[in-house]
Structure 1
Amino acid sequence: MSLAGKVVIVTGASSGIGAATAVEFAKLGSKVVITGRNEANLKSTETACKAANSKVELLLIPADVTTDAEKIIKTTIDKFGQLNVLVNNAGFGEMGSILDIDVDQFDRVMNTNVRAVFLLTKYAAPHLVKTQGNIVNVSSVAGLRSFPGASVYCTSKAALDQFTRCIALDLAPNNVRVNAVNPGVIITEFHKRLGMSEADYAKYLEHAKTTHALGRVGEPKEVADAIIFLASDSSSFITGATLPIDGGKHALCPR
């Protein structure tokens, strides 16, 4: 997949899609920079990467993308001397009706899902120009479709999709590609972090079988495989794309 020896940053690599993506890059011989807020979980990802490829070169950066974007890029360049792929995976969600939420929720979600991606992209872009590398942003089906009680999260992901397209055009003359994946419901800790109990989450996953055309929810590796494809030369003529990885959820209409 043309990724051996390439330097790859995966944000939000401490769990879920980010952790699975780091492992897939490790399998292919990439030099993987994993960053996230939970250092203990990052070490678990490190262990998984080494299990996938005992010779993998790894760099752990415990960091918060909302405050440490410049540090993440600088530390990577100081260690490896270049950057080939940036995977903006770190994301955050909160729920609530516009009748109940306040501006602090808006700021928290937008700071992680949009502002941090802007900063990481800005600091990474000159290095990606040098290597003619690429960016893969992890968006959501919520960027493509609208859901009640999730206005800020949906808005942040729609903004990320448009940012993806605009930056793709900005960087196309430099042969730097920028794409996004838009997952549907994937089995991670995301919904539990929204406040769902184990019982409620189990009910939600059962209900989600009816909201995805393929009749099931997804696994992190299924999203990671799409990220690998977009990061590799196999997608060399794809830029500015938003690719649903959602079992057809984006195509369904309620009846």
Structure 2
Amino acid sequence: MSFLKKVVLITGASSGIGAETAIHLAQLGASLSITGRNKHSLDKVAEQCGQPKPFVIIGDLTNENDVKNIIDLTIKHYGKLDVLVNNAGIFELGSIETASLEQYNNIFNVNVRSIFQLTVLAVPHLIKTKGNIVNISSVVGLLPLRNSLIYCMSKAALNHFTRCVALELGLRQVRVNAVNPGLVKTHIFRNCEMNQEQLKIFFEKLKEWHALGRNGDALEIAKTIAFLASDDASFITGVTLSVDGGMHIMSPALPSFV
């Protein structure tokens, strides 16, 4: 599998799955454009990617001008775009009784609205290269989960967005797929109102939610993203692929996060 001469844009690349994906694709020869809000963290990821270093763009996906700049600067720097990896996302706890409209807006602005805008801007360039899109969703976009209502809704929306856009762009030879990870220990959980000890217990407990009896690793997700983005997956589109250690075959109503 090679990404030589392929330009790949990855959002949310400063940590977790986005960072691992950047490092893995760099090893496969990709020319990378990586973006996020934390310059220090992005620079660290860029160092780990080796030479040639990725093109680093600092931006907030909830800012429409920043989103436009991410695409414009990538095209200005590389002249084209082959792969868009929509990885950035946020997670917050909340049920129908506790969640607020503000929380709804926060989550949907990052997890859905920004992806819509970035994809709209990227599509003309992907049509030119017959490129592809990989959206990073979640297994809870397929399964209900207590106390995570808005997050689950946002990922369900992203799954269907993936299918609809794949259908619309199929005849233009642009593939669109999504990865639905199970539990992977990343910084996305830092805003879920648990301290370090509670998070440790939480991650240990969640091993039981997976048929394989363990949580996932960010590199496992990164390798799946690379496969779907590669020419090896040239006949795959509209797929929402669960990479979740069998979480999707467990109880149809998973326990609450807290």
TM-score surpassing 0.5? yes
Equivalences for 1:7-86 in 2 at 5 Å? 7-50=7-50, 55-67=51-63, 68-86=66-84
Aligned equivalents of 1:221, 1:88: Cα separation in 2: 16
Aligned equivalents of 1:148, 1:239: Cα separation in 2: 30
SS in 1 for 2:18: helix
Number of the residue aligned with 1:124:
122
SS in 2 for 1:178: strand
Q: 1:192 deviation in Å?
A: 2.4
Gaps of 5+ in 1: none
Instruction: Tell me whether 97-106 or 161-170 shows the greater mean CA deviation.
Output: 97-106
Number of the residue aligned with 2:246:
248
Report the count of equivalent residues: 251
CA separation of 1:140/1:120 partners in 2, compared to 1, >3 Å: closer, same or farther?
Answer: same
Aligned equivalents of 2:135, 2:187: Cα separation in 1: 19
Counterpart residue type for residue 190 of structure 2: K
Residues 29-57 of structure 1: CA deviation (Å, up to 9, x unaligned): 1100010011111011111111xxxx324
SS in 2 for 1:244: strand
Aligned equivalents of 1:230, 1:64: Cα separation in 2: 26
Q: Determine if contact 1:136/1:227 at 8 Å carries over to the other structure.
A: yes
Aligned equivalents of 1:247, 1:73: Cα separation in 2: 34
The alignment status of 1:186 with 2:201, answered yes or no, reads no
Equivalences for 1:102-117 in 2 at 5 Å? 102-117=100-115
Aligned equivalents of 2:161, 2:197: Cα separation in 1: 36
Number of the residue aligned with 1:196:
194
Aligned equivalents of 1:71, 1:194: Cα separation in 2: 30
Gaps of 5+ in 2: none
CA RMSD of aligned residues (A): 1.1
- In the TM superposition, structure 1's runs of 4+ consecutive aligned residues that sit over 6 Å from their partners are none
SS in 1 for 2:94: coil
Aligned equivalents of 2:11, 2:52: Cα separation in 1: 18
Aligned equivalents of 1:121, 1:176: Cα separation in 2: 12
Aligned equivalents of 1:114, 1:192: Cα separation in 2: 20
Number of the residue aligned with 2:164:
166
Q: Determine if contact 2:2/2:29 at 8 Å carries over to the other structure.
A: no
Residues 205-247 of structure 1: CA deviation (Å, up to 9, x unaligned): 1111111000000110000000000000111110000001110
Instruction: Tell me whether 197-206 or 121-130 shows the greater mean CA deviation.
Output: 197-206
Counterpart residue type for residue 200 of structure 1: Q
Number of the residue aligned with 1:137:
135
Q: 1:4 deviation in Å?
A: 1.0
Counterpart residue type for residue 47 of structure 1: E
Instruction: Tell me whether 201-210 or 131-140 shows the greater mean CA deviation.
Output: 201-210
Aligned equivalents of 1:252, 1:162: Cα separation in 2: 22
Q: Determine if contact 2:8/2:83 at 8 Å carries over to the other structure.
A: yes
2:211 to 210, 213, 220: 213
Aligned equivalents of 1:47, 1:58: Cα separation in 2: 9
Q: 1:195 deviation in Å?
A: 2.4
Aligned equivalents of 1:215, 1:238: Cα separation in 2: 29
